[in-house]
Chain A
Amino acid sequence: MPTKPAGTLYRGREGMWSWVGHRITGVVIFFFLLVHVLDTSLVRVSPEAYTAVIGAYKNPLMALGETGLVAAIVFHAFNGLRVIAIDFWKKGAKYQRQMLWTVLVLWLVVFGAFAIRHLSLALGGH
């Protein structure tokens, strides 16, 4: 078992974990995208086929899945903008950690608002 290198600037810190999060959310979004194009394509089969399959998205368990998906999308979006800032802004690398906390605060606000609205629509009174 190799020992942890001393004084690493990167391993195990915000930079690494945001990178891990970006990869995982990216893969999740990609696989959903494949499925989502296929389910939307059912509009070319028949109105009833489309409406039936979309009906599956309206059950409470799927509502939780959609909320998780949007959590992934919002993180990937804001962290992606942070990556762009790191690459193109002169002080980007210096402030990458502060930008990550900004990403997480924005994520909480935007995702929180989405989750409240979507879950109250999907789980409430229909």
Chain B
Amino acid sequence: MSTDIQTPRSGRNSSGKIAPQYRRGTGSKGNFEMFAWLFMRLSGVVLVVLIFGHLFVNLMVGEGIHGIDFGFVAGKWADPFWQFWDLAMLWLAMLHGTNGVRTIINDYAEKDATRFWLKVVLYAATVVIVVLGTLVIFTFNPCPVANGVQLPGGFCPAP
């Protein structure tokens, strides 16, 4: 079966350009949307590997979810390999998810002000989560100390 799908004619003038009243914004966004589209596909492929690996190692191997506690995290982040794995997963997943939600806001929020404020909230949440997660990965201490006292449950070198 072969069907020709016509370009939509509504809102277009005789030369095929979108009529001004149907245009959103000034149209001077450069290639941003193309890069966003490409990023979704590239990060998506990488995320399939990172997240499937994350789920397999954390939930399928050994005693699965029962094995997860502070010591489990300390054991993983003692290895730069897992630090980098988790960092890449954090950044790629947050940017991929943020761009996805941005698309959904653009699709469903019709008022300019609504779209603007929803995206302000979205980007603020993204910055907080990415910065927080990055700091946690790099400042993690397996032997935390509060007021000079080692906190219980930590992994401290023998005195």
Contacts and interface: CB of A to CB of B under 8 A. Distances in A.
A47 B153 contact: yes
B34 to A, nearest CB: 12
B104 A27 contact: yes
Interface string B33-72: 0000000010011011001100100011001111011110
Main secondary structure on chain A at its contact with chain B?
A: helix
A37 B153 contact: no
A13 to B, nearest CB: 13
Interface in A33-92: 33-34, 37-38, 40-41, 43-44, 46-48, 50-51, 54, 57-58, 63, 66, 70, 73, 77, 80-81, 83-84, 87-88
Contact of A33 (B71, B97, B135): B97
Interface stretch (B16-24, B111-119, B138-146): B138-146
Interface residues of A, number: 39
B55 A114 contact: yes
B125 A50 contact: no
B79 to A, nearest CB: 15
B140 A44 contact: yes
B65 A122 contact: yes
- Specify which of B51, B63, B141, B146 lies most central, judged by the most chain A CB atoms within 10 Å of its CB: B51
A4 to B, nearest CB: 18
B132 interface: yes
Interface string A77-119: 1001101100110000000000000000000000000100110
7 contacts: A33-B129, A47-B151, A48-B70, A84-B45, A121-B59, A121-B66, A122-B65
Interface of B: 3, 5, 41, 44-45, 47-48, 51-52, 55, 59-60, 63-66, 68-71, 73-74, 90, 93-94, 97-98, 100-101, 104, 125, 129, 132-133, 135-136, 139-141, 144, 146, 151-154
